[in-house]
Amino acid sequence: MAENEFVVTPWEVSGEIDYEKLITRFGTQKIDDALKERIKKDFGELHFMIERDLIFSHRDLIEYLEAFEKKEPIYLYTGRGPSGKIHLGHMIPLMFTKWLQDMTGATLLFQFTDDEKFLFKDKLSRKETLDYAYENMLDVIALGFKPENTKFIIDTQNAKTMYPLSLEVAKKLTLSTAKAVFGFENHTNVGSIYFTSMQTVPAMLPTIIEGKPTRVLIPCAIDQDPHFRVTRDIIPKLGYPKPALIHSKMMPSLRVAGKMSASDEESAIYTTDSEETVNKKVARAFTGGRATLEEQKKLGGNPDICSVCAYFKFFFEPNTQKLEKRLNAYRKGKVMDGENKQELAKRINKFLKQHQAKREKARSKLKKYLFKDIVV
Ligand code: TYM
């Protein structure tokens, strides 16, 4: 990999991501000031993630807002690949989706791609990915989504709905397109090549459910965008509107630049981590500090490369003024790493304590969220 090069695909995120370049590479649109104003006008408020450009890019968001303004039926669609426990990075699009749902009142279709994780992960069995799907659902419910307007689709369990529609997509998807979009090779298993057809289906369902063309917005981190390029290319040919997208940046690892990796337990904080584990992980986190305390006091720290600062920015300091103050103090050498880490660990533990309690309560409610198959 050349210096400054980075990779962003649904299955690999590495290197230091240049998000401006990514917008050009993927052909998406930047969320500019005019669009921020429009969102604020429509919803009456602006989420801090949009304000800070953590939610930074989109496709056809304006058309979706128009449908909202005209009070047409609109849907949200997002998902999770259940390959393990949920980490704080996964929570970014989830929390943002909750805000979008609160603002729009839209029904959310939430896909659990247990098939994907079985196909792409050598070590996971079908049972394990399905078990993780049910475990991950608890985290979604804990964020406050309601069963009245939130439906969980599990690819293998809702095969009656998913499979026939994915066939329609697969028939229009050539091997050369799949190779060009995802970089598949001759040794890639054929299930993996088929899989993107399954991730397209929930973008078709609102039109089927409503019985008329219905707009869908897909909040996700930018790594999932390649799937939806395929979706947007194919489903209009089948009579469905193109879904709109809204993309978040990737919350960095606690250790190095890039996506948090499920195989490196230290690189992420999981929603089920204990207080002790959180303290340990934060203590070992990569920072923008200097070699010695004296140097840091004199020269200041670098918040732009500091994972602790990033955690405040993405998640644990929703007040933008307070965030700026904290980052400036760090930059000027007035706040040291130890202090920052202690404060971060305190906030993470406070959040997790509440989340874990809600997560356990969610077990008894889970059935109410499951999608009931429809005739397709
Ligand atoms: P998965 O399980 O890899 O990720 C779930 C969601 O979390 C986002 N994400 C992150 N966001 C911020 N920072 C990070 N470090 C980070 N890591 C992951 C992902 O972009 C995603 O939004 N194939 C999908 C499941 C899926 C889906 C969808 C996702 C099916 N349909 C529709 C979004 C929208 C997957 O494996 O996601």
Among 16, 56, 80, 110, the mutation site with the greatest number of ligand 1 atoms within 8 A of its Cβ is 80
HSE toward the beta carbon, residue 123, CA cutoff 13 A: 4
Residue 10 Cβ < 6 Å to ligand 1: yes
User: Is 265-361 in CATH node 1.10.287.3240?
Assistant: no
Mean model confidence pLDDT for the chain: 96
Joined together, the tokens standing for residue 206 give: 């609102």
Residue 139 Cβ < 6 Å to ligand 1: no
Joined together, the tokens standing for residue 301 give: 């720290």
Residue 92 Cβ < 6 Å to ligand 1: yes
**For the whole prediction, is pTM greater than 0.95?**
yes
**Atom nearest to 268 CA in ligand 1:** 15
Query: Which CATH architecture group holds 7-254?
Result: 3-Layer(aba) Sandwich (3.40)
Q: Ligand 1 mean position to 300 CA, how many Å? A: 35
Tens of pLDDT along 94-122? 999 999 999 999 999 999 999 999 999 99
Angle in degrees, CA 96, 100, 101, rounded to 5: 115
pLDDT for 4 equals 64
When pLDDT is cut at 50, 70 and 90, the band that residue 256 belongs to is: low
CB atoms within 10 A of CB 44: 8
Residue 116 Cβ < 6 Å to ligand 1: yes
Q: Ligand 1 mean position to 90 CA, how many Å? A: 6
Please give the Cα distance from 162 to 374 (Å, whole number): 9
Residue with CA closest to ligand 1 atom 5 = 80
pLDDT for 2 equals 58
Tens of pLDDT along 144-162? 999 999 999 999 999 999 9
Q: DSSP assignment of 31-79, as one string? A: --HHHHHHHHHHHSS--HHHHTTSEEEEESHHHHHHHHHTT--EEEEEE
Q: Ligand 1 mean position to 204 CA, how many Å? A: 19
Q: Is the pLDDT of residue 265 over 90?
A: no
Residue with CA closest to ligand 1 atom 31 = 79
Please give the Cα distance from 249 to 223 (Å, whole number): 9
SS3 21: helix
**Atom nearest to 250 CA in ligand 1:** 13
pLDDT for 5 equals 87
Joined together, the tokens standing for residue 374 give: 């429809």
Question: For residue 295, what are the contacts with CB-CB under 8 A and spacing of at least 6?
Answer: none
337-345 long-range contacts, CB within 8 A, separation 24+:
337/287, 337/289, 337/296, 337/301, 337/308, 340/287, 340/306, 340/308, 340/309, 340/312, 341/282, 341/283, 341/285, 341/287, 341/308, 344/282, 344/308, 344/311, 344/312, 344/316, 345/278, 345/279, 345/282, 345/283
**Atom nearest to 90 CA in ligand 1:** 7
Helix (H) or strand (E) run with residue 338 in it: helix 337-362
Residue 81 Cβ < 6 Å to ligand 1: yes
Percent of the chain at pLDDT above 90? 94
The structural domains of the chain, with segments of one domain joined by +, span 7-254, 265-361
pLDDT for 333 equals 96
Q: Ligand 1 mean position to 332 CA, how many Å? A: 36
Residue 251 Cβ < 6 Å to ligand 1: yes
Residue with CA closest to ligand 1 atom 29 = 79
Share in percent of the chain as helix, strand, coil (round to 5): 55, 10, 30
Joined together, the tokens standing for residue 67 give: 């449908």
Q: Ligand 1 mean position to 80 CA, how many Å? A: 5
pLDDT for 260 equals 58
Among 100, 111, 224, the mutation site with the greatest number of ligand 1 atoms within 8 A of its Cβ is 224
Tens of pLDDT along 56-89? 999 999 999 999 999 999 999 999 999 999 999 9
Q: DSSP assignment of 91-160, as one string? A: HHHHHHHHHHHHHH--EEEEEE-HHHHHHH-TT--HHHHHHHHHHHHHHHHHTT--GGGEEEEETTTTHH
**Could you tell me the sign of the dihedral formed by the alpha carbons of 137, 140, 142, 148, in that order?**
negative
Q: Is the pLDDT of residue 55 over 60?
A: yes
Percent of the chain at pLDDT above 70? 97
Q: Ligand 1 mean position to 220 CA, how many Å? A: 6
Q: Is the pLDDT of residue 258 over 90?
A: no
Residue with CA closest to ligand 1 atom 20 = 221
Please give the Cα distance from 94 to 182 (Å, whole number): 24
Q: Ligand 1 mean position to 313 CA, how many Å? A: 19
Rounded to an integer, what is the distance from CA 196 to the centroid of its chain? Answer: 17
Tens of pLDDT along 149-201? 999 999 999 999 999 999 999 999 999 999 999 999 999 999 999 999 999 99
**Atom nearest to 218 CA in ligand 1:** 34
Residue 86 Cβ < 6 Å to ligand 1: no
pLDDT for 255 equals 84
Q: Please, are residues 13 and 250 in contact by the beta-carbon 8 Å criterion? A: yes
pLDDT for 262 equals 55
Tens of pLDDT along 310-332? 999 999 999 999 999 999 999 99
